Amino acid sequence: MNGQPLARLAVLISGRGRNLQALQAAVADGRIPAVIVGVISNRADAEGLAYARNAGLPCTVLPHRDYPDRAAFDAALAAALDALQPDIVALAGFMRILTDGFVRAFEGRLLNIHPSLLPRHKGLHTHDAVLRDGDGEHGATVHFVSPQLDGGPPVIQGKFTVDAHDDAARLAERVMTEVERKIYPQAVAWMARGELRFEQGGAAFRGRPLREPLSLDDLESGFR
């Protein structure tokens, strides 16, 4: 990185941690010029925590049910992140809707990956929605986080053709293996290098505003 310090990356999870694994692998082999300074989960039973601990990553558990309301949980989460001083906060299957105040406090540092071709199918159960609506394509989107649910500026999307024999479970697996594990590490790498930024309410890539999300064709060779 031409002598630049490594970016400080915090990862938030709620489940299996498959995107966390992809990010950690890319950090470990140098594709992402960063250090994972902490993994935070709102669930003590999140499977991804076992992986994180085995990988030697510092972990924090903040069970959301221990807090009286969403604002109290987000305040505790913000305090935990402030202690880590992250340059990038990657939501990796973090199943919490964040308050406006939290998002504003970390604006420009928050990335999320959503399993649909946004703006289609915001929220949960995206694979079922694709089948219900008869969509011909499906995929995932990396975007900056805004107060609007799954509504922040998109960075990169990956898509594939839905097959006649795809069910929701197979779509979920295809989205993860064919798209998410490629585009999320790539987006975080761009951000860690300073090539991807949040500017004037939108995404900017290599000094230019992104008018539309990047695609699988834009992946560098190490992320394909």
Catalytic residues: 114
List CB contacts of 12: < 8 A, sequence separation 6 or more.
Answer: 39, 40, 41, 42, 77, 89, 90, 91, 92, 94
Give dist(CA 23, CA 18) in Å, integer: 9
β 196-199/34-41 pair status:
unpaired
Nearest to 5 by CA among 53, 49, 37: 37
Chain position carrying tokens 């490629």? 182
Identify the three-state secondary structure at position 39.
Answer: strand
- Which stretch of DSSP H or E encloses residue 156? strand 154-161
Identify the three-state secondary structure at position 149.
Answer: coil
Nearest to 212 by CA among 165, 143, 161, 126: 143
Q: DSSP of 83-139, one letter per residue?
A: HH--SEEEESS---PPPHHHHHHTTTTEEEEESS-TTSS-SS-HHHHHHHHT-SEEE
